[in-house]
Structure 1
Amino acid sequence: MSAENMKMRWFRSRFSAVVHLYRDGQDQYGEQMLEYQGRTELLKDDITNGRVSLRIRDIQPSDAGQYTCFFQSGVFYGGALLELQVAGLGSAPAISVEGHQDGGIRVVCRSSGWFPEPEVLWRDLQGQLLPSVSVNISQEANGLFHTEAAIVLTEESNRKVSCCVRNPRLNQERQSEISIAELFFPRVSPWMVALNVILALLPVLIPLASYCFWREHRAKETLRLELESEKAAHLAEKAEYEAVKGYVYTELGGDSQIK
């Protein structure tokens, strides 16, 4: 039957929480909740057959939940309850290279505008899942989710991968790929290994070298002192010999000899 002259009310959890109101053949906006103002429209193309549809524009995560459609004509009325599910398919993943880490290259995948909370997956060329080193999913002020996932690629494992962000409610996903050239991967040369070993041993080598130098210097100094002491003793002995020789020559006569 025609609903042109009926009263129709769409509301949320309470009868007074009006999403859209139709009465006296016109849309009424005076009782409408603030968050729905300017966003709703009652489609009346088939109202004479008792069918009306509610359109909500600029859908938001907060719009998810239960709605009641209520018809009233005089003393007769009827209603129906429905559950509105909201899903957002976010932006295509943006992949960026953010330097070296753990002998490989750190790659980060970012995407926003998802609802509900999405899943983030890394895959190789064969479609096999790869482990992330970190995953951060945060909810923004508008209720939508932002994702950030990182992976470390090594030359031995995978140089071409894809980042997939999936909406579990819609069973849909967005995907981006990245391929990293071989020359960007860090190289380990024997000289660098040797240099790193030397640098690691410097805290031990420097004190050891200082100690060895001190020992050598001390040994030389000891030897010098010993030589000077021997020289002094020899000079003293020679002086004593000359003194005795002179004494004997004077007292015993010039013809005496000391042996």
Structure 2
Amino acid sequence: MKILSSYESSRARSCLAHFIIFSLTCYVHKLESAQFTVVGPGRPVMATLGGHIVLPCYLSPSMSAQDMEVRWFRREFTPFVHLYRRGADEFGQQMPEYHGRTELLTDGIMDGNVDLGILNVRRSDEGQYHCSVQDGDFREEAVLELKVAALGSAPCISVEGHQDGGIRVVCQSAGWYPQPQVLWRDPNGQPLSASIETKSEEEGGFFKIKDSIVITENSNKNLSCSIRITHMDAEKQSVTFYISGQLLPKPHSVIPTRIKNQVA
């Protein structure tokens, strides 16, 4: 009985020793996987159609991500937008629409910067992106949003005849995305009264704008038209438009009106 008891005691000590070794191994492995937070921008990133954009992402606290897995993806983990693993880029399961257009910017990777560059920005690039960083069994990610805009043609101002006791002036432009806002301004840059009509048509995914305003005898005769994308704070402005001559038509007569364009 003493021999059996001694055997059981020895076996118990052996099991305990194996358990301690196993626990220590797991703990050391966990320590080897760095603990960090992945941080993205706090607001949407703005890009211009056809341009180059950088999606910012970094580790906090600052540490090297050179030997970690960095994966940028959209809705699905795979296929991905860009994958960096074991110190090199991998393109085997990259989304076809991103082939040849992405680059992990490794200049700051030793400090935990894992920014992604996208070339020749397309409308389809707009939306959410996940910046995922994995070290061993530990993985964290940040979600950021990319907004894409296309700046259309320079606004063109023209006159479309008399209306409501004044002259109807029209501002037109095409090739905008998303739908822009039209602003009429006086020579001091102050907004004029609201336009009387705005027409917006979508052609091939881009917007064509036609906006009208009526200039009366009491209106400011010098004006310009600006078309802007509000969330990007980007706009294009027409030349300043000068109108001279009597605007109010007299009964049974036609009043000649002299109109000219001059660059602002």
Distance 1:34 1:85 in 2: 20
Counting only pairs closer than 5 Å after superposition, residues 5-154 of structure 1 correspond to structure 2 as: 5-101=67-163, 104-125=166-187, 127-141=190-204, 143-154=205-216
Residues 218-257 of structure 1 aligned to structure 2 (within 5 Å): none
> Larger relative CO (CA 8 A, sep 6+): 1 or 2?
2
TM-score (norm 1): 0.61
Superposed, 1:191-210 pairs within 5 Å as none
What letter corresponds to residue 195 of structure 2 in structure 1?
Answer: S
1:4 matched to which residue of 2? 66
Which has the larger Rg? 1
Aligned residue for 1:173? 235
- CA positional deviation for 1:178: 0.9
- Among the aligned pairs, what percent are the same residue? 51
Q: CA deviation at 1:33?
A: 1.6
Secondary structure in 1 matching 2:224: strand
The secondary structure found in structure 2 opposite 1:15 is coil
Task: Compute the TM-score of the two structures, normalised by the length of structure 2.
Answer: 0.60
Amino acid of the structure 1 residue aligned with 2:193 = L
CA contact (8 A) 2:70 2:114 kept: no
Instruction: Check conservation: 1:124, 1:130, Cα contact below 8 A.
Output: no
Instruction: Give CA-to-partner distance per residue, 1:154-196, whole Å, 9 cap, x none.
Output: 445343222122322133433222112327x57535578xxxx
Letter in 1 for 2:242: S
* Aligned partners of 1:155 and 1:182 also within 8 Å: no
Q: What residue number does 1:182 align with? A: 245
SS of structure 2 residue aligned to 1:179: strand
**Alpha-carbon deviations, 1:67-105, whole Å to 9, x = none?**
111122333322222222334444432212344445543
Superposed CA offset, 1:1-33 (max 9, x none): 433333221001221241111234322223222
CA contact (8 A) 2:151 2:175 kept: yes
User: In structure 1, what is the Cα distance between the partners aligned to 2:226 and 2:65?
Assistant: 48
Assess, with a 3 A threshold, how the Cα gap between structure 1 residues 30 and 140 changes in structure 2: closer, same or farther: farther
Residues 121, 130 of structure 1: 8 Å contact kept: no
Q: 1:35 to 1:136 in 2, by over 3 A?
A: farther
Q: Aligned pairs, how many?
A: 190
1:39 aligned partner, one-letter code? R
